Amino acid sequence: MNSKALTKIESVILIVIIIIAIFAAYILLKSPSSETIRIGILADLNGDTGKQVWQGAILAAEQLNAKGGILGRQVKVIGEDSDEETSRDLTVISSALTRLITLDDVDFVISSGGGAKGYMIQDLCAEHKKIWISYGGNDDGLTQRVIDDYENYKYYFRYLPVNSTYQISQIINELLQVREITDFNNVGYLADDSDWNLEYRKTLDHLLTENGFDLVYEGKYPPFDTFDFSSYFAAAEAAGVEILFPMSLFNSGIPLVKEYYDRQSPMLIYGGFLISAMSMESWEETDGKCVYTVDRIDGVVIGYPVTNQALPFHDSYIQRWGEGPTGHGAASYDIIRFVLSEALEKAGTTETEEVIKALEEIEVETTNARKFAFTSSHDALYQEGMIDNPDDYGHINTLFQWQEDGLLIPIYPKWLMEEANATITFPDWPGPWDNR
């Protein structure tokens, strides 16, 4: 064989070697050990809530990656700004979600989602076959869709909160407990006029009546630009409200609380949703005027050991970000750190159908649930009796009261209050508590 022939053979061999090397490199790059798991965060990244959601998600990813990731893959968190804390423009939200799915090519989507926004997100994720885990949105219709059209809507899971029917039932239990303590019976609510609390407002009236309460005041105000609550409190006082139940999701919680304190309103602010006034910073932000209010605060937010995961998360969040977490930050952290991680390890793959099956079967401890699982409709599982039993399924929903010197004291559930040997403190100005 001549030298020219050998050269040709060698050239062919070299080409084959190069092709094999390129193919091997491609396979290596696409192998499970080298691909990242891409988790999309849809939130108002410039808003307070969105910032907390983002920081909780980043912390979870960092902790997982430090332990080798999930299935040997690193976790990457990608955010798109929905701009929803100042605007509820569905076009902006839809565009942000579309970017996450198509341009960012995320494997999973995490966001809140109630009302029209929730249905839009659910439809888009179903169209693209992307698993969406919601950390907010109480519309029963979203989980009803899973029941009625499973094949189309099986991609939707709700981590927090549970459906509005259960939540309102729990609200009644909270009010029954405070009535047992105070004998107060006249209830009023003050709500931002938004879709997210529509189900509460619809059903609260008849459920209060069924349980012997008198709903004497129903206040609604514009959600984004209300900072003067004097007229609303005047109306509530005239109606004889003893327990005021706030539903304030946006930026009005601080002025609402300040108005209550400054006018020394003769009622107890109890439970409800005061999103911008239920963090560890609320004492400073209100100049201590949140004293006496009983707020819906996750135990994890204040470092109360409601589960084995609560304190480690609370402390690591402060160490990482230099500030305390909120419930939204804990929710995004839980979804990534425990729920998705557990499901992916159980499935052994990121393949959508297998992950859905795994999510339907997991049971895991989170920062706010000693046993977390999903129902067949992909809602968070709650079982009867969890209010009285800290070891049952579901999030441990807690109410704490701000008392003197900025102390937060557990008031609900009853077992938590008794465990802490706590009592409700009433304002030092005149009110219905003087007649107890």
Q: Which domains are delineated in the chain? A: 37-162+326-361 (3.40.50.2300), 165-303+398-435 (3.40.50.2300)
E strands in 324-434: 399-403, 407-412
Q: What is the pLDDT of residue 31?
A: 42
pTM of the shown model? 0.76
pLDDT at 84: 77
Q: Do residues 246 and 274 make contact, with C-beta atoms less than 8 angstroms apart?
A: yes
Strand, coil or helix: 16: helix
Q: Could you tell me whether strands 294-296 and 37-43 are parallel, antiparallel, or unpaired per DSSP bridges?
A: unpaired
Amino acid present at 1 = M
pLDDT of residue 175: 94
Task: State both tokens at 135.
Answer: 């950390």
Cα distance between the two ends of the chain:
112
Question: Is the Cβ–Cβ distance between 343 and 358 less than 8 Å?
Answer: yes
**Residue 197 in contact with residue 249, Cβ under 8 Å?**
yes
| pLDDT recorded at residue 195 | 81
Residues in the chain with pLDDT < 50?
A: 1, 25-33, 385
The CA-atom distances, in angstroms, between 184 and each of 179, 212, 398 are 5, 11, 20
Q: Which residues pair with 296 in a beta bridge?
A: 399
Closest CA to 292 of 324, 265, 273, 255: 265
Let me know: does 228 contact 256? Beta carbons within 8 Å.
no
- Identify which of 273, 366, 281 has the alpha carbon closest to the alpha carbon of residue 321: 281
Q: How far is CA 77 from CA 58, 103, 134, in A?
A: 6, 14, 16
How far is 385 from 403, CA to CA, in rounded Å? Answer: 29
The set of residues, in sequence order, having a beta carbon less than 8 Å from that of 353 and lying 6+ positions away, is none
